[in-house]
């Protein structure tokens, strides 16, 4: 042809770039539309991202009281306004240990499509609890994992968490334990003489576990570590449990590998109040760290884009009253609808 016509396409469906119609336009119109095309693509991407966000929600696992009645779940569309599911009744009752507690429930979704949960079974036991679920409603048999039973002087195993490493294809379970006589340089009589450090074990199937190892020794009494991948680094949020003089705040540490070694702890990222039980997630390019302001009897929330400057947005947070240490995770709207349908 010699009539200077060109081929250009028009996007008919902003949610599906593959749905195209081809039309013939004169060269002048084609040139104009070619200039506009990158803008059109960006608009379509924005609409697509918005649609994906609408198809997801957030779940928060938590416990009440001393953890006697088990696992509780709340949901949110934006990470700020939360409502309890199942009328705030338990989704899973604890069966393990003489104390039969389910404190600090940590849940992640593995590459196998299962939700994996660990929790504190007792104030004094030397092991942790584990269970899995396809839907957060029906759970497997509860398993006691004796992670510190080999250690005669271990006093406890508190607030276990799970993080998956896609490189090694292993789950790392980690928790805080006091071993009497260890780390005497930070031993004090306050807080019942507890002097914690972080320990870990690895597993691929939650049936066999590696030997327990020391994960982090920051030079102070520490508990409640939680770890997420951030770009090419692993980021740990951890509570400085120092009592004399009191710290009781949250700090950051970083590592190239999930198992460490981790850097020295940062300056505190929380304010002039006592904080513990952190959990974190990235929402709209900002890291959100939720934590229990346990002395003040409510949760707190800080956020940051660069992990250096933190903004406290606790006044925007609306959690069910009485919520205690747990974890946040993202689920589909379909999964949420099934959870909403569960009756007390």
* In a shared domain, residues 227 and 277: yes
For residue 245, is the peptide bond before it cis, meaning its omega torsion is within 30 degrees of 0?
A: yes
DSSP string, 184-196: GGG--STGGG--E
More confident residue, 155 or 2: 155
Is residue 305 domain-shared with residue 320, that is, in the same domain? yes
pLDDT confidence bin for 302, thresholds 50/70/90: very high
Selection from 288, 290, 292, 287 nearest residue 325 by Cα:
292
Specify whether 175 is located in the same domain as 305.
Answer: yes
Tell whether 102 and 41 lie within a shared domain: no
Number of domains in the chain: 2
Check: CB of residue 147 under 8 Å from CB of residue 173.
yes
Same structural domain for residues 23 and 66? no
Residue 22 has pLDDT above 50, yes or no: no
Same domain, 254 and 136: yes
CATH of the domain at 228: 2.115.10.20
48, 63: one domain: no
Mean pLDDT computed over 248-253:
98
Q: What is the pLDDT of residue 26?
A: 56
Q: What is the pLDDT of residue 317?
A: 98
Residues 41 and 163 in one domain: no
Q: Are residues 31 and 74 in the same domain?
A: no
DSSP state of 220: S
The confidence band for 55, taking pLDDT boundaries of 50, 70 and 90, is: confident
The reply to whether 18 and 125 lie within a common domain is: no
155 and 14 belong to one structural domain? no
Q: In this predicted structure, which of 26-30, 113-117, 154-158, 263-267 has the lowest mean pLDDT?
A: 26-30
pLDDT for residue 210 is more than 60: yes
Alpha-carbon distance 129 to 143, whole Å? 6
pLDDT over 50 (residue 130): yes
Higher pLDDT, 94 or 40: 94
Segments forming the whole domain that contains residue 13: 5-52
Same domain, 40 and 138: no
pLDDT at 321: 93
CA distances (Å), 319 to each of 14, 259, 324, in order?
36, 33, 10
Identify the pLDDT of residue 54.
Answer: 62
> Which residues share a beta bridge with 253?
236
Report phi then psi at 327, rounded to 5.
Answer: -140, 155
* 227 pLDDT higher than 60: yes
């Amino acid at each position: 042809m010699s009539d200077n016509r060109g081929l250009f396409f028009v996007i008919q469906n902003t949610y599906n770039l593959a749905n195209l119609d081809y039309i013939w336009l004169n060269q002048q119109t084609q040139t104009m539309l070619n200039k506009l095309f990158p803008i059109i693509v960006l608009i379509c991407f924005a609409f697509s991202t918005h649609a994906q966000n609408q198809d997801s929600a957030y779940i928060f696992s938590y416990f009440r009281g001393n953890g006697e009645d088990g696992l509780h779940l709340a949901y949110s569309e934006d990470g700020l306004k939360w409502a309890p599911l199942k009328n705030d009744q338990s989704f899973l009752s604890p069966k393990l240990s003489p104390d039969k507690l389910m404190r600090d429930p940590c849940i992640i979704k593995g590459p196998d499509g299962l939700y994996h949960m660990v929790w504190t079974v007792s104030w004094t036991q030397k092991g942790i609890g584990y269970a899995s679920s396809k839907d957060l409603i029906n759970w497997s048999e509860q398993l006691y994992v004796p992670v510190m039973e080999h250690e005669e002087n271990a006093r406890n195993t508190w607030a276990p968490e799970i993080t998956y490493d896609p490189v090694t294809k292993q789950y790392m379970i980690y928790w805080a334990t006091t071993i009497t006589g260890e780390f005497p340089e930070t031993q004090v009589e306050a807080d019942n003489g507890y002097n914690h450090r972080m320990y870990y074990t690895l597993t691929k199937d939650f049936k066999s576990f590696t030997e327990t190892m020391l994960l982090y020794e920051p030079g102070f009494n520490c508990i409640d570590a939680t770890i997420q991948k951030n770009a090419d680094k692993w980021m740990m949020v951890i509570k400085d449990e120092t009592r004399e003089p009191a710290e009781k705040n949250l700090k950051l540490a970083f590592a190239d590998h999930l198992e460490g070694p981790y850097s020295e702890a940062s300056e505190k990222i929380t304010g002039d109040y006592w904080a513990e039980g952190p959990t974190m997630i990235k929402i709209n390019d900002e890291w959100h760290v939720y934590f229990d302001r346990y002395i003040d009897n409510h949760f707190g929330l800080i956020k940051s884009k660069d992990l250096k400057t933190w903004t406290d947005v606790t006044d925007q947070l609306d959690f069910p009253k009485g919520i205690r240490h747990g974890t946040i995770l993202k689920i589909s709207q379909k999964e949420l609808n099934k959870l909403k349908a569960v009756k007390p």
